[in-house]
Amino acid sequence: MFMKKSEQAKLTREKIIKAAAECFAKKGYSACSMQDIADFCGVSKGALYGHFSSKEDLFKLIINMEHGRGAERALKATQKGPYIEAIISFMGECIQNSGFPIDHRLWAEALAVASRDQAMRQAFMESEKVARGFFKNLIQKGIESGEIDGSIDVDGISILLFALGDGIITRIADDPDFDFMKYSATFAAVVRNILCKQKDNNF
């Protein structure tokens, strides 16, 4: 049975994205060329350009995909409480379970590239803003339920918690001996300490 052209194109596109992610993670964004990506993927450079016009487009797409996955997770977490536990679970899942085509090394590379490249930084921040919007809704649900301190700065706290998650992901990427699960209870206590009224804190 022959595969439809559209199905074949989709599979090739996914193969290219996966190869690009592997190339960026192993060689670094700056050192990775479109030829390198084609070699990782096993396609011609012409075929690669038939799907993506530049490595910049590929890198931005990968960042958008990961932020989109985070937005989906945050939206799912708003469906039911307790919301403080949903926030901790959401953050833990984002830290531990990277999805196609992201891994911890590549997310650390994305953060590094965004710190050096103005255009990439803008793309990263715009993409993150969408994901944080869903996360802020989750925090707001916790405020409305009385679980989270209503006096907190929701926008500021959302940035702080995203930064905390990014930092832990970078630690995982840099230190093969670091076991996040070993510190999961402390991590949960830190998040509660940030979000809850002082009298409710256990940290």
Alpha-helical segments (H) within 97-183? 104-116, 118-144, 154-174
CA distance 155 to 158: 5
Residue 156 corresponds to which tokens in the numbers above?
């500021």
CA distance 171 to 45: 35
| 192, 203 contact by CB (below 8 A) | yes
Q: Cα torsion at 65, 67, 72, 74 (round to 10°)?
A: 170
What's this model's pTM, rounded to 2 decimal places? 0.87
Residue 202 has pLDDT above 80, yes or no: no
Average pLDDT over residues 65-72: 92
pLDDT bracket for residue 4 (50, 70, 90):
confident
How big is the chain, counted in residues?
A: 203
Residue 203 pLDDT: 41
Q: Which residues neighbour 14 within 8 Å (Cβ) at sequence distance 6 or greater?
A: 100
pLDDT tens profile 117-170: 999 999 999 999 999 999 999 999 999 999 999 999 999 999 999 999 999 999
**pLDDT above 90 coverage of the chain, percent:** 85
CA distance 161 to 191: 8
**pLDDT above 70 coverage of the chain, percent:** 95
